[in-house]
A and B are shown apart, each in its own frame.
Chain A
Amino acid sequence: MSANKILIVDDEPTIVRLLDMSLKSDGYTTCTAASGEEALAVFEKQSPDIVVTDIKMPGMDGLELLKKIKNLDPDKEVIIVTGHGDIDSTITALQYGASDFINKPVRDEALAIALERAESKIRIREQLAAYTHNLEEKVAEATAEIRRRSNFQRLLIHSSHDAIVAFDRDWQIVVYNPEAARMFEKRARVVLNKMTIEDLYPPQLAAHFKKEAKNGTDDREDIPWKEMVLETRDKKQIPVRYATSVLHEKKEFMGIVNFFQDLTEIKRLERELIQSERMAAIGQTISGLAHYVKNILIGLKGGSYVVNVGFQNDNMEKIKTGWQTIQKNIERVANLTQDMLTYSKERSPEVALCSPNEIVSEVKDLVSDFAESNDIEIVTRCEPDLGQMWLDPGTVHRSLLNLVNNAIDACLQEEDPDRRFKVEIRTRKNEHGAAVFEVEDNGCGMDEETKTKLFTPMFSSKGGKGTGLGLLVTKKLVEEHRGTIDIDTRLGYGSVFTVTLPERPETAREQTDK
């Protein structure tokens, strides 16, 4: 550190010279003045660090000089040289900010001590200034960084597509972004730091979060996404999804943050998707049905033509044939309607004590004429002591008829000329006492693809001759009876359909009770 520069002021040139010599010999740089006025001029030009001035001088005295210097630069040290017992001046000098006092005559040691004190004050001030400067810089830097971060976070929260609402430990709202304002339809101005959780949320939700807050003990506890419906003031329902973070510091509850996502658009898209899927299914259903209905129409038109011809020619045989065609097709419409109703409606089985084997005989009687005319043998192999069981006879009848008709169709589709076609219907009881019906044919069988598509609505392997409803209805009836349907098939060799129906006496009793 460079030596301080000292300005010596005294109206007595001898003293000035003496002090000047003494200080120079101590290694100081010095400058001098013989009056207060001169001292000021030198001070402004040379900018000394320390001024040593006599108090009593003609013109501007030491006190005046002190005042002016302190005015110009309060950091400069001014040492006042006073006469003995000049208490008043000393007090004034102190008030003006003098650093020290030396009594006249000036002794070297006293001056040295005063200078040392002044220098140490300067040093400390310099260090303090450097330190303060440093600190200010650092604070400025940190402030800028904090501002940048907080701006970023504020922007993040502000521009979030989620509504973000945060509460402090007193449940006052401290974060509330524009999306939240939109969702809750309240301006940030009236909410932020003014409302509590109860003012903003529906009572149940507020209570729910308050409960969550109490339970938490970790640093941060995240409550996963949940869904709910918010109701706005004008009773508009907004489906939302929300997540929650409970904030803790040192195991103490600090607050809670909620993130809300408006699901209105997503829900709308979901609804649209379901709708379009339904439309596609309906489209498929309609085109499948249209094909089948067209075939019925062909039958009805052809039949009525034949009847008309019969009338014109007075030919009873023709009328009969045509009328049979018409009746057969009326029956097909009736069955189709029945199938459609069965498929579309929830239905519980109508259980009664019935004989499975008798139903098998009925079904056999219904199909045997048609089967015989197509060289297909219908065989029944029933367990004789099956007796009466608690089943829905309608389900048994319809399922068997469907399966046997399918079996006959499978025989008709197989083109092996040497094969003797046979459909076998079997009954038995399984180990759980359930009724088991098996329908086996040695017809065309199915490949894997057909097998997997069997229970698809409106799938038919019979062209326009099937509605695609038969197996679907069968499956539905069987499942409503809590039963199962199984298929074993081999392409070119035939299929076995197995329907297992458990007895349902309780259902019968319920129905009686009603």
Chain B
Amino acid sequence: MGKKILVVDDDPDVRSFVLTVLEENQYTPLVACDGVEGLEVIQKEMPDLVILDVLMPRGSGIRLYRHLKTDDALKAIPVILFTGIALRSFLKSQKALEEFKGEKVPEPDIYLEKPVEPQELVAAIRKKLD
């Protein structure tokens, strides 16, 4: 089996789409519905890559992203942000959070704005893993 990739998204439609793309490209998909569940799966499975939605109930993508990037055990895991929110708005919220918390986290490796074609998603994954 291929490398383990976790999809964290509250939208079942998005989950099934990404899951299918991953399967079709010989990766091993893992899924989580929200940030809390996402962190549990990451700690248990240590995936090779995380595809993360930003706006989610119960532990938003932003919170999980910041957790991943500040946890020494997890910060090496590459993250693809995959969201309907424009990158500009996301970076703005990050900046506000950094000023508020006084800590800086690196900008996301890859930021994909939905909708994306399957090839785009695969290209982004390959760029991080190969």
Q: How far is the CB of A227 from chain B (nearest CB, A)?
A: 48
Contact partner, B16, options A291, A325, A412, A463, Cβ 8 Å: A325
Contact, CB under 8 Å: A302 / B36:
no
A329 within 8 A of B: yes
Chain B hits for A328, CB < 8 A: 13
* Interface residues in A22-40 (C-beta closer than 8 Å to B): none
Which residue of B has the minimal Cβ distance to A302? B17
A349 within 8 A of B: no
Contact, CB under 8 Å: B58 / A417:
yes
Contact, CB under 8 Å: A301 / B115:
yes
Residues of A within 8 A of B (CB): 291, 294-295, 297-299, 301-303, 305-306, 309, 318, 321-322, 325, 328-329, 412-415, 417, 463-465
B interface, size bucket: 20 to 34
In whole angstroms, how far apart are the Cα atoms of A24 and B58 in the complex?
A: 136
Chain A hits for B14, CB < 8 A: 298-299, 302
In whole angstroms, how far apart are the Cα atoms of A297 and B14 in the complex?
A: 11
In whole angstroms, how far apart are the Cα atoms of A413 and B35 in the complex?
A: 12
* Interface residues in B20-49 (C-beta closer than 8 Å to A): 20-21, 23-24, 36
In whole angstroms, how far apart are the Cα atoms of A299 and B59 in the complex?
A: 23
Contact of A294 with B84 at beta-carbon distance under 8 Å, contacts A309-B24, A415-B58, A463-B55 already known: yes
In whole angstroms, how far apart are the Cα atoms of A198 and B11 in the complex?
A: 76
In whole angstroms, how far apart are the Cα atoms of A291 and B17 in the complex?
A: 19
Contact, CB under 8 Å: A297 / B84:
no
In whole angstroms, how far apart are the Cα atoms of A11 and B122 in the complex?
A: 151
B118 within 8 A of A: yes
Contact, CB under 8 Å: B118 / A464:
no
Chain B hits for A464, CB < 8 A: 55, 84
Q: How far is the CB of A62 from chain B (nearest CB, A)?
A: 123
In whole angstroms, how far apart are the Cα atoms of A295 and B9 in the complex?
A: 13
Q: How far is the CB of B27 from chain A (nearest CB, A)?
A: 14
Chain B hits for A299, CB < 8 A: 11, 13-14
B57 within 8 A of A: yes
In whole angstroms, how far apart are the Cα atoms of A463 and B11 in the complex?
A: 13
Contact, CB under 8 Å: A302 / B13:
yes
* Interface residues in B71-130 (C-beta closer than 8 Å to A): 84-85, 114-115, 118
In whole angstroms, how far apart are the Cα atoms of A318 and B118 in the complex?
A: 16
Q: How far is the CB of A414 from chain B (nearest CB, A)?
A: 8
Contact, CB under 8 Å: B20 / A305:
yes
Q: How far is the CB of A335 from chain B (nearest CB, A)?
A: 15
- List 4 A-B pairs, minimum CB-CB distance, nearest first: A302-B17, A412-B57, A298-B115, A299-B13
Contact partner, A322, options B11, B16, B114, Cβ 8 Å: B16
Contact, CB under 8 Å: A325 / B36:
no
In whole angstroms, how far apart are the Cα atoms of A224 and B11 in the complex?
A: 64
